[in-house]
Structure 1
Amino acid sequence: MKVLVLAPSAYLLGGVQDWLAHLVPGLRAGGLEVIVAVPDGDHHRHGPYARAYPALAAQPLANPSGSGEGRIRAIAALLGRLNPQLVLGVNLVDLYPAAQRARRQGRFDGRVVMTLHALQAEYFDDLRRHGAGIEAVIATNRLACRLASERGGMDPARVLYAPYGVSVPPWQAPGGDPAASLKLAWVGRLEQAQKRVHDLPPLLMALQALGLEVQLSIAGDGEERPALERSLAPWIAGGTVRMLGHVDQRRLADQIYGHHQALVITSAWETGPIVAWQAMASGMAVVSSRYVGSGLEGALEHDATALLFPCGNVAAAAAELARLRQPQLLERLSRAGHALVARRYSEGASLAAWRRALDQVMALPPLAAGPAQPAPPPAGRLDRWLGQRRGEDLRRLLGQRFRHGSAGSEWPHSGGVGDGAAEAELLAAAGRLDIPGAPHG
């Protein structure tokens, strides 16, 4: 079976990138022909991506004009040239109208799958808008599966689950004496809306008030780094906090996983996170917010596989961390977390789930031909004067090209515009589904 994966190339860090880097070689080893294509432009750049992930052997996908019509043409041409049996879309929304166009032109008869990695309103809006041409959704989280049906309108029979996977070495007990000094790590993108990084300074204050001696390593980068460094300045100066910046997978294994006693997660929502499974695989305990996405997944169970606290409640988080001064509790959580990941989130378990999901997609009844996709908005005067297709023809003939200010503008992840109110409403509704009875704002 020939599988085409379309993914962004602007981002070299993160769980989605790590997932793809492990999944594709595994599928190839299992006998599938897997082709990866990534955009090549100003913000999405094939060269750095190919160097970061050489095992993917990613092909470049160029849009000479930079317009929306140009993106659709580029993908439709690729589909026509390869005619894969299965296409996995990874946060590139133009795949869906491009596939419908290639189908109508008789150049492509494969199946299109949305891989869902986020609990964000715009992706469920995309499902409603383009669902007539999407054969299936494969989500990495149980709650995301529910939302794909309830918010995205997908037939539940076409919503499949396949989790992220991590390498699981033999279990090792956390080192050091937690009663003397608790060695903690926080790993992720330094941003507030999802990751809630600004919970860390008040958490340190709460730990200080309890008389805990801690060492906190923060691995990650992002837009909130300067503000976070200012807030953490007293602890950084005193040696309590280390800001490591971006840390690749090799350095995470060498400096973080297995070298700290616990991972702290402060997130509002997650569809993994991979960092939790990686920490557990290394023998670290996990102390986490009850983030939206943790309930239906059923992996982080309070006092069984992890210690949990209400999202944003730093006093409760500090109290749970204080319990880790008991070596017996730390070892029990370490063993239970390692066993959980070995059973449910190992690379082998994940690969088997993804291969099973792909086979299920191919076994689904084919979709009826849907309505023609609406044309993208006019990209400029040529489109308004001549229509998008003739405007695009002339634009290419003249060598005109749009310059985009961001990666999301150059190759959009979704068809919507981020709306704070819509995201808040989704998060509240998702929380009620995920953890019934818990307070969600």
Structure 2
Amino acid sequence: MKSVWYVTRKFPPSRGGMQQLSHHIAAELAALRPLTLVRWWAGQWGLPLFVAWALLRLCWGLLRRQVRVVLIGDPVLSVLAVPARWAGVPVAAVVHGLDVTYPSPLYQWYLRRFFWRRLDAYLCISRFVRDQLLGQGIAAAQCAVIVPGVSAPADMPARAREPGLRLLILGRLVRRKGALWFVQQVMPRLSAWNADVRLDIVGDGPERAAIEQAIAQAQLGDKVRLWGDVDETRKAQRLHECDLVLMPNRRVDGDPEGFGLVALEAAMSRRYVLAADLEGLRDAVGHADIGALLPPQDADAWFAAIVALLADPRRLRERGEAARAYVATHCSWRAMGLRYAERLDELV
């Protein structure tokens, strides 16, 4: 029987937004269509071996006429389109953002050789990503925007909350996420406004040492807590215990935010979101019920918005309930899976 072949290099148990998206694409497609999943789950280690193995496995499937359509998890795997196109099998790719803007000259050569105008469809996680493709001359008819979904969080056991007003930043500690900027430029002002304001930062990455240094320099050791990389249960706990979720991203050349799944996760946890008004965050926080968009790196605007929300806890809780209601209705993984299945069917 012919099936959809989905090949991805980002898959659990390794953690991250791409891994979570890949898992749900696979699960939803498998529930809707015959699916063959070829996956790599160990991060960057061994990736060249995985690509070679996936190429051989795909060629074998093509020779046995088992492949209906190929979906590759991101442009890094676009070399896999070569044997499929030779065999007359259509190929689509999921496109996330950084996987087309990464500035390495060698990688950009690779994209020109195997990705740009070499595939049948480009499935973008946001309008921002689609615009990057249109700017490279990809036909609009070949680009579809299919935003990620979100799962209901696990039920959290009732327990006494730590005192204070709790803010949360959740994501990799890289420059574009803006955690360092927020600690340096906004958190000292919030602490001076109200000594009970606390900030939890969940995630790890290359900026952790700089954030620790900024916390020490601003004497915020009792106000800001770094939790590091945590599992899904502990992440859900942090979302459950916070009052407001922040996504203070900044624009970094060659490293855009393709979507911002944290915004939907926060909404499903009944938490309102403040996010920077740029790139894929405009789709993640695309409805007023989910959150508000603020000018990137505008400390005055961020301070004023946070103070206004924290000053009215009842209204903030109401906003969180509205966020949950909106995403539960409009942002399911099943709806996302149906769009993938329909778009792939159009290629055959």
TM-score, normalised with respect to structure 1 = 0.66
Provide closer, same or farther for how the CA distance between residues 167 and 319 of structure 1 changes in structure 2, counting only shifts above 3 A: same
Contact 1:266 1:289 in 2 (8 A): yes
Contact 2:10 2:39 in 1 (8 A): no
Contact 1:10 1:45 in 2 (8 A): no
Q: Is 1:342 the counterpart of 2:328 in the alignment?
A: yes
Question: What is aligned with 2:6?
Answer: 5
Aligned 1:247-258 pairs, distance under 5 A: 247-253=230-236, 255-258=237-240
Question: What is aligned with 1:118?
Answer: 97
Contact 1:264 1:287 in 2 (8 A): yes
Deviation string 1:171-214 (CA, Å, 9 cap, x unpaired) is 99xx9999x8321111000010x212211222211212333521
Q: Helix, strand or coil: the match of 1:35?
A: strand
Counterparts of 1:177 and 1:74, CA distance in 2: 49
Aligned 1:4-403 pairs, distance under 5 A: 4-8=5-9, 12-38=14-40, 43-45=44-46, 62=49, 74-83=53-62, 84-91=67-74, 93=76, 95-96=78-79, 98-101=80-83, 103-104=85-86, 108-119=87-98, 120-122=100-102, 129=113, 130-149=115-134, 151-168=135-152, 181-192=164-175, 194-201=176-183, 202-211=185-194, 213-233=196-216, 238-253=221-236, 255-268=237-250, 269-295=256-282, 297=283, 299-301=285-287, 304-324=289-309, 325-362=311-348
Q: How far off is 1:90 after superposition?
A: 2.4
Identity score, percent: 24
Counterparts of 1:236 and 1:39, CA distance in 2: 40
Alignment gaps of 5+ in structure 1: 47-60, 64-70, 363-441
Provide closer, same or farther for how the CA distance between residues 155 and 176 of structure 1 changes in structure 2, counting only shifts above 3 A: farther
Contact 2:84 2:91 in 1 (8 A): no
Q: Helix, strand or coil: the match of 2:177?
A: coil
Q: How far off is 1:215 after superposition?
A: 1.5
Contact 2:267 2:320 in 1 (8 A): yes
- Output the aligned Cα RMSD: 3.3
Counterparts of 1:316 and 1:35, CA distance in 2: 46
Counterparts of 1:224 and 1:21, CA distance in 2: 28
Contact 1:264 1:288 in 2 (8 A): yes
Counterparts of 1:39 and 1:343, CA distance in 2: 31
Question: What is aligned with 1:380?
Answer: none
Q: How far off is 1:337 after superposition?
A: 1.4
Contact 1:344 1:350 in 2 (8 A): no
TM-score, normalised with respect to structure 2 = 0.82
Contact 2:5 2:69 in 1 (8 A): yes
Contact 1:7 1:37 in 2 (8 A): yes
Counterparts of 1:39 and 1:259, CA distance in 2: 31
Amino acid paired to 1:115: V
Counterparts of 1:171 and 1:62, CA distance in 2: 40
Provide closer, same or farther for how the CA distance between residues 315 and 212 of structure 1 changes in structure 2, counting only shifts above 3 A: farther
Alignment gaps of 5+ in structure 2: 251-255
Larger RCO of the pair (alpha carbons < 8 Å, separation 6+): 1
Counterparts of 2:21 and 2:204, CA distance in 1: 19
Counterparts of 1:171 and 1:35, CA distance in 2: 30
Contact 1:163 1:353 in 2 (8 A): no
Q: How far off is 1:153 after superposition?
A: 1.4
Contact 1:168 1:281 in 2 (8 A): yes
Give the stretch that moved more between structures: 181-190 or 335-344: 335-344
Contact 1:235 1:241 in 2 (8 A): no
Contact 2:11 2:40 in 1 (8 A): no
